[in-house]
Each structure stands twice: as structure tokens, then as C-alpha cells.
Amino acid sequence: MAHIMAVTAYRNAEFGTDPGAGRAAEASGSCVDDPALLRCLLDQTPTPTALVEGEGDCCSFANGAFRALGVVAGSGMTVSFPALSPALLAEARNSGRPQRSRAASDRAPDGERFWDVRVTPILGLNGIVRALIVTADELPESVAEHDRRLRDVSHRLKNTLQLVSSLLTLQTLSSKDPEVRRALQSAGGRVGIVTQAHQRTHGALRAGTVDMAPHLRELCQELEATLPGAHCIHVAAEATEIPVDSIIPFSLIVSELVGNAARHAFPAGAPGTIDVRLGRAGGDTVRLEISDRGTGLPPGLDVARAATLGLKVVRAFVGQLRGRMSVDSSPYGTRVTVDFPAA
């Protein structure tokens, strides 16, 4: 309710969107269209309420409840109030639609506090976002306790994955059969990708989504360091939010496709370049492209039916993302495209 009142007040003050109400107020002697009066009203609202104007996250107005949390005019909101993420502001500004997330702030004197954060865009007469209203409702202790338990479970899962990876490594070192060693190394690599993806998303479980651009860059840096041969991976990634539960299948798809390109696309011993692109393909569709400048696929190879374990893994996880995979190959290289819904 408080954020609705804040949006209405700001609209009335800035744009005069309710002339009928203004005439009624004038007749009754009230000055509800006075910006100073409305700002005073917002200042007394018990819900932390702030205004962000222009680009970035600079706060232009914070009411008394937000100032008590350290958010003041002129400060960067995401720095002074860590429960608000830059991605949430960017999504509201770019889409023109309200955004919401559940997050924590650990800068309170009495320890960690959990917040239901909302960002509501204010549109001008031309449809352009003029400002963002940020409100934060503190979650009750029961919800906060649930989030703490979720974090504990996540931590235990990370430890279990690391244990499995260590056991596979020990088994690999003790095996003398080259084929068995290669199979165990491949399995260990996949468990490692899952572990790394889980570590990156651990802090985003409450928010529900993760910006994949920095995650993809870090993943490709790690892959480049472990690929066979002197291969270079170029990454071009736009800010792209996807659900937390999509991160692990996404990471395994990237790992398998990049690994396949490094092993099979180039002549033996020759270095090569692999391009990885991530962005939107219109609407709510995310597009991942992995292409090489190699010799193309072998004649007669149908990626949709290939029986190799790596491609089976890719097809399975593309299906899990409810996505679609297409392949374009020529003697000058191969491009694999995976489209899947963002939400």
C-alpha cells in the first residue's frame, strides 16, 4: 500500500495526472497537489521509500525510514542498501514494468535483515521512464528463518559436490586404464562445472534470478585454461537475467559445446578461436551462440541424433531449459545456437 501511495504522490507532484482531484482539493481548501506537501507525506511514510532519477542508482530522495537505514540523497542506493541489486533497477528501467525481489542486507547493527524490495517505474507522457520508486518491506522473522535454512542447505550441497569431485580425482589417479582415466576425468570435469555454477548462484537464491553475463565470462576463462591445445575463447555477453535453477544446465551446455569445438573443430595441434555470445533474441527469449572457425562437422553427422555422451548431455539440458538447438556448419566453421525462454 505504501508504494502505491508513493507512486500516486510522485505522479501528482511531477505530472499533475489527476486534474479532477486537483479541482476537488482546491474547492475543499486542501493542497494535495503541492510537491512540498507530498514530499513531507512521503517522508513520514513508515515504509522505506526512495526515488531514483536518471541513469545509475543515485538516490535523489529518501524518506525518513530509508535515511534511518543509511540511504540519503546523493548516495548510491545499491551501495548504501545492498538488498537492492543493480540488475533490479536496470530491469525496471529497461522494461518499464515493476520489479520485485527478496534479498538480505547484513549492515544492520543487530545483524542480517531480510527485505521484500520493489522497484516501480514512473513513465512520462512520452512513455519514457522518468524515475524509479524504490520501496522495501522488512520480512517477518519466519520468512527470514526460512531463508537462513535455505542457505544452510545450499552450503551443504556445495560441500557434497566438492567431496564427489575429490573422490573422482582420487579414483582417476589410482586407475591405470587410459580409457577409464579419461572417463573419470570427464565425469570429474562435469561435477566441477556444477560445483562452480552452484558457488556463483549461492548468493542469489533469494533473488530468484542471476545475471548470466559475468557468470559466462568467468566460466569461459576457466574453460580456456583447461582446454586441450592453445585455444582462445572470445565472449560477447549482454546483461541477461535467467532463473537460478537454469544456471547449472546452462553451464553444462556451454562446457560441452566449447569442449567439443576445442577437441574436434581444428586440425590436430592447431590453435583456434571459439566465439561465445549471449543476449536476447527478441521478447523473452535468451540466445546462446557458440561458434568456431574450424573445418566444420564431419559429413553425415546429425547433431540431433549423435550418440556421443557430450551431445546427449547438451540435448538433455536444452530440453530441461525448454529450449531449441540449431546447428549451422560449413568448411569454414560451425555455429550452434540455443534459444530458451528467460523465465
The verdict on 214 and 339 lying in the same domain is yes
The verdict on 40 and 132 lying in the same domain is yes
CATH label of the domain that carries residue 280: 3.30.565.10
pTM, rounded to two decimals: 0.50
Among 123-132, 181-190, 316-325, 333-342, which is the least confidently predicted range?
A: 181-190
Question: SS3 of 343, please?
Answer: coil
pLDDT at 201: 61
- Cell numbers given for 292: 568456431
Q: For 276-329, write each residue's pLDDT tens digit.
A: 999 988 778 999 999 998 888 887 777 777 777 778 888 888 998 999 999 998
CB atoms within 10 A of CB 182: 12
* Secondary structure element (H or E) that encloses residue 104, with its range: strand 99-108
The verdict on 241 and 303 lying in the same domain is yes
Looking at the chain, the whole-number percentage of residues with pLDDT higher than 90 is: 19
Measured torsion, CA atoms of residues 70, 75, 80, 83, in degrees rounded to the nearest 10: 120
Q: For 204-257, write each residue's pLDDT tens digit.
A: 555 567 788 888 998 888 888 877 667 899 999 998 888 877 888 888 899 889
Its domain, for residue 34, covers 2-139
The verdict on 38 and 77 lying in the same domain is yes
- Cell numbers given for 142: 519466519
d(CA 142, CA 145): 5
CATH label of the domain that carries residue 127: 3.30.450.20
Comparing CA positions, the residue from 198, 107, 116, 114 lying closest to residue 148 is: 114
Looking at residues 129-135, what average pLDDT do you find? 91
Looking at the chain, the whole-number percentage of residues with pLDDT higher than 70 is: 69
With 50 as the cut, is the pLDDT of residue 176 above it?
yes
Contact predicate 252/239, CB 8 Å: no
The verdict on 239 and 339 lying in the same domain is yes
d(CA 50, CA 32): 19
With 70 as the cut, is the pLDDT of residue 168 above it?
no
Contact predicate 67/77, CB 8 Å: no
Structurally, how many domains does the chain consist of? 3
Mean pLDDT of the chain: 77
The verdict on 47 and 118 lying in the same domain is yes
Residue 157: burial class (beta carbons within 10 Å; 0-12, 13-18, 19+): middle
d(CA 167, CA 116): 41
Among 151, 185, 206, the domain boundary falls at 206
d(CA 220, CA 233): 7
The verdict on 175 and 307 lying in the same domain is no
pLDDT at 23: 45
d(CA 188, CA 192): 6
